[in-house]
Structure 1
Amino acid sequence: MTTFSELGLSERLVLRLTEMGIVDPTPIQLRAIPLALQGRDILGLAQTGTGKTAAFGLPLAQIMLAERGKPAPKSVRGLVLAPTRELAKQIHENLRAYLGKSHLKTGIVVGGQSLSAQANRLARGTDILVATPGRLIDLLDRGAVTLEATGFLVLDEADQMLDLGFIHALRKISDLLPENRQTMLFSATMSKQMNEVAQKYLTGPIRVEVSPPGKAADKITQSVHFIAKAEKTSLLKELLDEHREELALVFSRTKHGAERLRKSLEAAGFAAESIHGNKSQGQRDRALKSFRDGKARILVATDVAARGIDIPDVRHVYNYDLPNVPDNYVHRIGRTARAGADGRAVAFCAPDEASELRAIQKVMKMDIPVASGRPWEGVTPPSNQRNNRGNRGGAGAPGNKHRRPQRRGRGKPRAA
């Protein structure tokens, strides 16, 4: 087993990792860290939950620690861009943990907070800045920060930045960065547009791929329930009741839908919180803390949380609504089975979501096992199904001679 020392990390950082209980590098760290320390541009492809933050954060920390002097006023030496506030905050916390009590000044700028306060903090200069693209553009437009001295750039979860419409912001930021820099781009998926971004940002990059794009962690047990839309909430409550003491993430497509679902779960006696775009940053932080601490066992979220939650104890992910963007399914279920743990991902598919399920299965290159109901028209049933509801296959699957009767009121699907 290769150690962090053998990857080229300094004794100081290795000791800090040991204090944090981090001993063995993950596959993405094994491959990316030595290349990053050599100053190479990297295109990293890996599923969520594989340790990408340390793969770029540790080399960045070591490079910054080796530099002398202080950053000039308003300048940034190393920039990390992330698509959501939650992910940016998580990255910033990890970087601060790696650096310990060093002299380096780290900063974070995200939406939902005072622009003036952020500008005042940036005025003194920053060694490593973590930012969301939109808020960074706001500060650049105000002249509160300059990227002329930025020698290290990281684009984390770059595919979601494109999904969220940050392509124009990224182009504007790119034009303000020096050409002579080291860049690392990390993504869980690789689209045609992502290839174009990589060509624009990276120079002679080394491609580091530890799992095929669109592939979920091996320890995630997936299943799908074919169910009428009006019956989704009752089924969700039934399934949640089977593991009340375990943490569960429930994904809703809309902000209003997430809030309605949280209230419905609370009324049924579940300890639930919600996180979505209508929540202030303080509310989102408090909801995540309650969920992380186990005070709330259920977190209802929109895709704003799909890349920003790193809680190893999440055992269940429910896709109450299937995502419009199939790649988001991979990111959603990647919130479970983290750090080698087991996890369970359950999807609900209403008749009007059949096309979304087909797109997801195409990206995943697999048929998701049926837990209950019969596939809607146009959805190919899995070829190998088992008979346990909610596991790999299940009751109600076509051709299952011993399936349970369809629950009343759940809608009668059309046969495939």
Structure 2
Amino acid sequence: MSFSSLGLISPLLQALDALEYKLPTPVQAQAIPAVLAGRDLMVAAQTGTGKTAGFALPLLQRLSTEGAPVGSNAVRALVLVPTRELAEQVHESFRAYGRHLPLRTHVAYGGVSINPQMMKLRKGLDLLVATPGRLLDLYGKNAVKFTQLQALVLDEADRMLDLGFSRELDALIAAFPKRRQTLLFSATYSDPIRALATSLLRDPLTIDVSPRNSTVKSIKQWLIPVDKKRKSELFCHLLKKNGWGQVLVFVKTRKGVEQLVETLLAQGIRADSIHGDKPQPARLRALERFKSDEVQVLVATDVAARGLDIDDLPLVVNFDLPIVAEDYIHRTGRTGRAGASGEAISLVAADEVQQLAAIETLTRQILTRNDEQGFEPEHRVPMTDARGQVLKKPKKPKKPKPGKSQGV
């Protein structure tokens, strides 16, 4: 099956050819014809399977061939995403695919001035990619109108709920016209997401191109038990011992991110960081430095677990395990993209065993444990069983008290 066989128009095929897209992925092959036909969709697809093209390509085609010209402050298609990084990534995909189409697009998110975004909206937009909070701000200032809204995409909707955007989503959905096409894409589906889909979608086509809550098979995953206080030392040791090139490292807290970056810089290792306390221009600069190989190690909180599209990233390290098990899937999904192989290593301390058990339960796999010589922990990480449950240590038999008859 080719992209041309899916019914895409020549300008889109020309852009795909320049991007060297040869054949559609399974999610693209199923989603593109359905979106072109006007169906609502509920799609479960792993990170890195090409789901952005699955909705971007047909939406661009429909916007260029259907509907009236966009009015002042109006938007014809809207893509909601949970993070600034994902907003930039998705918008860049739309720009790349639609380079030969006369469409007006823009991206809107917090952390930067709202004024340029309001100026862009004055002439109206065919497509806007936005985070919920900033879109609600724009709506509150009468800078955006939804009267011409034809299509709504919720990308990584589960993450939007995880980040506490449910109130913003409710307010926005109430403002949208009821007659619209709605597409819901996500790598994982929780029960709240399924409830949201039920309320939003009309007779949706369900596409599931991967087992629910699974990680990409091409990613080799394993863990190293280590005492918490020695994690930084172990990471630096592994970096040098294995001759690692570029590494994306996930740390639980913003303070922990900066501490690790400080340690790496002190050892002459080129490192930078991305977290919620950094302004958006600084976050984008750190990402560009990493992509251009100016930086060897990019250290991030889960703000970067979704939305970082880095070509040929060979390795992800979980310096800390995520609090929310689903975030493990999205962290590891930064490597092994588009069929490539990758590796995900977790440094696990004894007090993280509950997070480990939750991850193993969610992904239905037990992570292989490999001790690193010289870093064997004093506090052992309890074992988990095939269901990802923590196994209790067997009780030691009581020693008989002196002078008591033992019987026969």
TM-score (norm 2): 0.91
Distance 2:368 2:77 in 1: 44
Match of 2:400 in 1: none
1:380 aligned to 2:384? yes
Distance 1:88 1:415 in 2: 50
- What pairs up with 1:242-257 in 2 under 5 angstroms? 242-244=241-243, 246-257=245-256
Note if contact 1:377-1:415 (Cα within 8 Å) is conserved in structure 2. Answer: no
Note if contact 1:81-1:154 (Cα within 8 Å) is conserved in structure 2. Answer: yes
Match of 2:51 in 1: 52
Name the CA shift for 1:377/1:250 in 2 (closer, same or farther; >3 Å). Answer: closer
Match of 2:341 in 1: 342
The unaligned stretches of length 5 or more in structure 1 are: 384-413
1:285 aligned to 2:289? no
Match of 1:151 in 2: 150
Deviates more, 1:74-83 or 1:116-125: 116-125
Note if contact 2:350-2:382 (Cα within 8 Å) is conserved in structure 1. Answer: no
Moved >6 Å (runs of 4+): none
Q: Secondary structure at the match of 1:9?
A: coil
Note if contact 1:357-1:379 (Cα within 8 Å) is conserved in structure 2. Answer: no
Identical positions, percent: 44
Deviation at 1:70, TM superposition (A): 2.4
CA deviations over 1:361-389 (Å, ceiling 9, x no partner): 00010100101158946531679xxxxxx
Greater gyration radius: 2
Deviation at 1:146, TM superposition (A): 1.0
Name the CA shift for 1:334/1:415 in 2 (closer, same or farther; >3 Å). Answer: farther
1:31 aligned to 2:30? yes
1:137 aligned to 2:136? yes
CA deviations over 1:88-118 (Å, ceiling 9, x no partner): 0001111011111422100111111111221
Q: Which amino acid aligns with 2:127?
A: I
Distance 1:415 1:332 in 2: 34
Q: Which amino acid aligns with 2:383?
A: V
Deviates more, 1:71-80 or 1:343-352: 343-352
Distance 2:206 2:230 in 1: 45
Distance 1:158 1:51 in 2: 16
CA deviations over 1:286-342 (Å, ceiling 9, x no partner): 100011111111110000011111112211111101101000000000000112211
TM-score (norm 1): 0.89
Distance 1:240 1:339 in 2: 26
Match of 2:9 in 1: 10
Deviation at 1:193, TM superposition (A): 0.4
Match of 1:392 in 2: none
Match of 2:84 in 1: 85
Deviation at 1:239, TM superposition (A): 1.3
Match of 1:387 in 2: none
Note if contact 2:349-2:381 (Cα within 8 Å) is conserved in structure 1. Answer: no
Q: Secondary structure at the match of 1:314?
A: coil
Distance 1:415 1:102 in 2: 67
Match of 2:200 in 1: 201
- What pairs up with 1:227-242 in 2 under 5 angstroms? 227-242=226-241
Note if contact 1:226-1:349 (Cα within 8 Å) is conserved in structure 2. Answer: yes
Note if contact 2:328-2:359 (Cα within 8 Å) is conserved in structure 1. Answer: yes
Q: How many residues align?
A: 385
Distance 2:176 2:328 in 1: 33
The unaligned stretches of length 5 or more in structure 2 are: 388-392, 396-408
